[in-house]
Amino acid sequence: MDGGFGAAGGAMAIEARWCARNYRPLPVVISRAKGVWLWDSDGRRYLDMMSAYSAVNVGHGHPRVLDALQQQAGRVAVVSRAFHTDRLGPFLARLCALAGLDAACPMNTGAEAVETAIKAARRWGHRVKGIPDGHAEIIVAEGNFHGRTTTIVGFSSEADYRDGFGPFAPGFRAVPFGDAAAVEAAIGPHTAAVLVEPIQGEAGIVVPPGGYLRRLREICDRHGVLLILDEVQSGLGRTGAWFAFEHEGIRPDGLCLGKALGGGVMPVSAFVARRGLIDMFEPGNHGSTFGGNPLAAAVGEAALAVIEEEGLVARSAELGAHLMERLRRIDSPLVREVRGRGLWVGVEIDPARVSARAVCEELMRRGVLSKETHETVIRLAPPLVIDRETLDHGIDRLEEALAALAAGPAAA
């Protein structure tokens, strides 16, 4: 079956034959995972320093999440929202209480949560602000990543995300990320909302200037515009707070969540908002077959309980500070900048010396897995359950990889 390539080679060959080539994985075949560790098909162990883009904040195979999954799957997994269930209400009540918002629309993926936010903002702009139907504008940030749907990639500033996928929906204006003055200058009579990530993940863990979110909140209040934050990656403890907006003491009108909400075992997302915004939805005008199903609700509630009761937010803050301190002490000609917050850090590599992909491949050979973004940045985002000793192990391997690559091919 493996065509003489061995177990790993056979698996990669079969995937290459039958799977769309919309990813370029590292040459490793993962067959098992537990906590912060991954094992390949040959039994070699790797430290997970990526967490599936923050989807695995509570670690792989957390027993409380698996128990919730198994127990609920044995009762009822999926029923239509045409009926009530005993799982959805408690899950959303817990989520809204943590976010300090009024109600939520459950969905499946982060992109769906963002699409839900866009629909709610446009209808709010028309019904509440009086913007003519079909003319609502949303201000976004350059370098954004909010998902892969045609609406969302239409306002991306990355040419590769847009190439050949048009025509795109109008109604979006992009301004430089981190520039609150540019946001205010872009607001017009048809502006319904500002939609931004508090920290841009896919762009390379780009942290805006201090006070950026606070200024956006003031600007939106002054102009009667919604502030919607996409915390699909940054939310649920990743930055050392439950939500990145808490670092600046503000609260958005709407919040997009996903990834970690599924406890690392299934897709769960939600658009959480204040009552005047979430009430733009009425029976029949928005929905999802699987959104809010009882299995997802049970898993989501368990994931939130784990983060809260195991103190993972505080751990992210404490170990994140240690991670930044150690990375900034690395003396390597390959490193241009280290930036991030909590257990979410980007190490920018000098592309004139080596590619970020090469660093990730060298890390893989040393038993640590992560992934580059935009060819120049190494993402470091371990599960929040990691301990200090294991985190230091990962940092040591990165330091070794950088030293080997700086010394040349023979050393690597």
Listed residue (395, 385, 382) closest to 338, CA to CA:
395
The order of strands in the sheet holding 226-230 is 103-107, 269-273, 254-257, 226-230, 191-196, 137-141, 172-175
pLDDT of residue 232 exceeding 50: yes
Residue 19: HSE in the Cβ half-sphere, 13 Å Cα cutoff: 11
Lowest average pLDDT, out of 109-113, 153-157, 227-231, 407-411, goes to 407-411
Q: Is residue 30 within 8 Å of residue 38, measured between CB atoms?
A: yes
Quote the CA–CA distance of 212 and 225 in Å, as a whole number.
16
Quote the CA–CA distance of 172 and 5 in Å, as a whole number.
49
pLDDT score of 6: 62
Among the listed residues 91, 145, 243, 245, the single catalytic one is 145
CATH T-level fold of 33-58+313-407: Aspartate Aminotransferase, domain 1 (3.90.1150)
Quote the CA–CA distance of 346 and 97 in Å, as a whole number.
31
Q: What is the pLDDT of residues 304-324, one digit of tens each?
A: 999 999 999 999 999 999 999
Return the ∠ at Cα 292 (arms to 286 and 297), rounded to 5°. 160
Q: What is the pLDDT of residues 249-263, one digit of tens each?
A: 999 999 999 999 999
Beta strands in 167-314 (DSSP E): 172-175, 191-196, 226-230, 254-257, 269-273
Average pLDDT, the chain: 96
Residue 2 banded pLDDT, cuts 50, 70, 90: very low
Is residue 243 part of the annotated active site? The answer reads: no
Query: Which residues are within 8 A (CB) of 238 and not within 5 positions of it... i.e. 6 or more apart?
Result: 54, 57, 244, 260, 316, 342, 343, 344, 381, 384
CA diameter of the chain: 67
pLDDT score of 1: 35
Residues of the chain with CATH 3.90.1150.10: 33-58+313-407
Is residue 145 part of the annotated active site? The answer reads: yes
Among the listed residues 172, 230, 245, 281, the single catalytic one is 230
Quote the CA–CA distance of 239 and 320 in Å, as a whole number.
8
Contacts by 320-323 with C-beta closer than 8 Å and gap 24+? 320/239, 320/240, 320/344, 320/345, 321/240, 322/388, 322/391, 323/380, 323/391, 323/395
pLDDT of residue 5 exceeding 80: no
Listed residue (313, 309, 382) closest to 345, CA to CA:
382
Domain boundaries 63-309, corresponding CATH code:
3.40.640.10
Q: Over the range 355-369, which residues count as b (16 or more CB within 10 Å of their CB) and which as e? A: ebbbbbbbbbebebb
Quote the CA–CA distance of 165 and 160 in Å, as a whole number.
10
Return the residue matching tokens 């991954």: 38
Q: What is the pLDDT of residues 134-164, one digit of tens each?
A: 999 999 999 999 999 999 999 999 999 999 9
pLDDT score of 177: 98
Token couple for 130: 């009086």
Q: What is the pLDDT of residues 20-36, one digit of tens each?
A: 999 999 999 999 999 99
pLDDT of residue 4 exceeding 90: no
* Three-state helix/strand/coil letters over 352-410: CCCCHHHHHHHHHHCCEECCEECCCEEEECCCCCCCHHHHHHHHHHHHHHHHHHHHCCC
pLDDT score of 412: 58
Residues of the chain with CATH 3.40.640.10: 63-309
pLDDT score of 8: 77
Among the listed residues 259, 281, 290, 371, the single catalytic one is 259
Q: Give Cα 327 to chain centroid, integer Å.
A: 22
Is residue 290 part of the annotated active site? The answer reads: no
